[in-house]
Amino acid sequence: MKFCILIIDGASGLPLPERSNKTSLELAYTPNLDAMAGESTLGLARTVPTGMVPSSTYACAWILGYDPRIYYLGRAGIEARNMGIIVDEGEAVFRCNLVSVHDGKMRDYSTGHISSEEAQQLIEAVNQGLGNENIHFYPGVSYRNILKLRSHEETLLAHCTPPHDIPHKPVDGFIPTGKGSELLRKLMECSQDILRDHPVNIERIARGEAPATMIWLFWGTGRVPEMPPFKQLYGMDSAMTSGVDLLRGLARMTGMEVLDIQGVTDSIDNDYRAQAAGALEALEEKDLVIIHIEATDEAGHDGAIDDKVEAIQQVDKEVVSRLRTWRPGELRVLIMPDHATPIETRTHTDDLVPFMLCGPGFSSKGTRRFTELEAGKTGLFISEDQNIMKWLLAR
């Protein structure tokens, strides 16, 4: 038996009044997911323990069978691990977004999903202007970058707000505060002068695109703890494909192979077909593969209904269709979002999310579609205290 986990990041959401009170999953045309729903076990799951922030860090760790209350991981530290950045004791790392602030308000948390090439030039300029032996900025994927601090552990005590939590809100009320925040505020403020007249921003403005007006620091962590290898826990060789450093970092920390598939990105331009093909090619050798799709979550953060629906439809057309036909009777699949990213809130929430277990050993309770409503009708619920990985792998 082979196994696959398809994480459609942030695909779940709330009913949209402007779209006949349907969720994005309900609005999407998903013939392959619907066909699988008629033969699979559906239910609802709580992926993040009560009291913990509903982030992909904890939710995806839970899906992979790691209790986030035991392996309490910081997102910046995991992303740094994937980028090959060594974080020693006494050091701190922060996510460093390139954001666009206009008239004092958070115009765009991602600077229009700035390209990695443009972001690299901007972060290099910031590092040249603000970096030293204790402060270093590292370019990542698109707007997601990393700041590493040495001898500044006090910064981990600062209260920081993710920029995607404050769309179109005045930023003054969300700048880092509290003990340890002084250096973070200074770096954010000084970055504005460095970025203002940078050639990349001048060119973006000329094209009518949002400029990166400043860096935004949040999700600070120290050295992240080690995690037991996935093979040690579950006895399987595994691999993962994702367009973001967080999931790739989780894969590396759990001993999974990270698949480098050309065309896999973090946004709507993702090559879904190539990602599915590459994952299934790896499954010929591996026991289990994880396919993580980020585009749905990014569309939720952008408040873009049509983009979110289109991303779900592309997942159905290019990914789910291939899972349905790959070695019939020899593949078990778990399909689910890691968390909800409702269009209305434009950030993660701790709402229950639908899951679908497909393949030999799983049967339907009369469900017709992979949606929040249909999953709720079954009455099946998996709590944060349970291990959904064991459900998938049960013999």
Global pTM reads 0.87
Buried b (16+ CB within 10 A) or exposed e, 336-357: bbbbbbbbebbbbbbbbbbbbb
Q: 189 is written with which tokens?
A: 């403020």
Cβ–Cβ under 8 Å, residues 25 and 31: no
- Please provide residue 9's backbone torsions phi and psi, each rounded to the nearest 5 degrees: -55, 125
State how far the Cα of 299 lies from the Cα of 295, in Å rounded to an integer: 6
Cβ–Cβ under 8 Å, residues 153 and 220: no
- 3-class secondary structure, 288: strand
Residues with Cβ within 8 Å of 289's Cβ and at least 6 positions away in sequence, in order, are 3, 4, 5, 238, 239, 240, 241, 259, 279, 280, 282, 283
220-261 pLDDT tens trace: 999 888 899 999 999 999 999 999 999 999 999 999 999 999
Options 3.40.720.10, 3.90.870.10, 1.10.10.10, 3.40.190.10; which CATH number does 2-73+226-393 get?
A: 3.40.720.10
User: 395 pLDDT exceeds 70?
Assistant: no
Q: 101 is written with which tokens?
A: 């602030």
Give the helix ranges, DSSP H, for 91-175: 116-130
State how far the Cα of 210 lies from the Cα of 115, in Å rounded to an integer: 12
118-152 pLDDT tens trace: 999 999 999 999 999 999 999 999 999 999 999 99
Delimit the CATH 3.40.720.10 region(s) of the chain: 2-73+226-393
Cβ–Cβ under 8 Å, residues 195 and 126: yes
Q: Please report, to the nearest 10 degrees, the dihedral formed by the alpha carbons of residues 263, 267, 269, 274 taken in order.
A: 30
14-72 pLDDT tens trace: 999 999 999 999 999 999 999 999 999 999 999 999 888 898 999 999 999 999 998 87
